[in-house]
A and B are shown apart, each in its own frame.
Chain A
Amino acid sequence: NFMLTQPHSVSESPGKTITISCTGSSGNIASNYVQWYQQRPGSAPTTVIYEDKLRPSGVPDRFSGSIDRAANSASLTISGLKTEDEADYYCQSYRDNNVVFGGGTKVTVL
């Protein structure tokens, strides 16, 4: 089965920049769109990036998405970290007639 692999956790200080990777287990991750969702404790997920690199209205430009074809991975970069960015982040894509989510990355702002 196709899987999207994310680091379990990332920690960094306020004001710094982090990058979360999302690596496809096979095939070409660039062949389908990748989304990124933020989920704060006790809340439903919200979209921070859709279609690889687009931001919904209301999402600050500190959030950006990209695709690295050579590494077969997608990345979410959060710059100027704020304490409010502390949350779980999930990537999502498509494969084999299915919507597939990554396992999630817990971001801690120290």
Chain B
Amino acid sequence: SSELTQDPTVSVALGQTVRITCQGDSLKSYYANWYQQKPGQAPVLVILGKNNRPSGIPDRFSASNSGKTASLTITGSQAEDEADYYCNSRDSSGYRLVFGGGTRLSVL
């Protein structure tokens, strides 16, 4: 299996841009996907694959990839973006998935 590493906490001022990163060997072969989870709720997919936003996800969410690092960028952070964010990808087997440990985003 493989691991994905995320910073535990990140903060951003209201209206500013923030980048949340995810690192792991599997990201050299597979795109990361990104999820948002608010307290007491199920995760919501915000970025699928290279940089695809599911229907209903604001365009302030975007993704990028470089080597073993994937990034989720929120441009113009809103109060409602305060949440936990998780990356995932396939592991080295190609058939199992692995999640990062999650990043708690605080919007100040």
Genuine A/B complex:
no
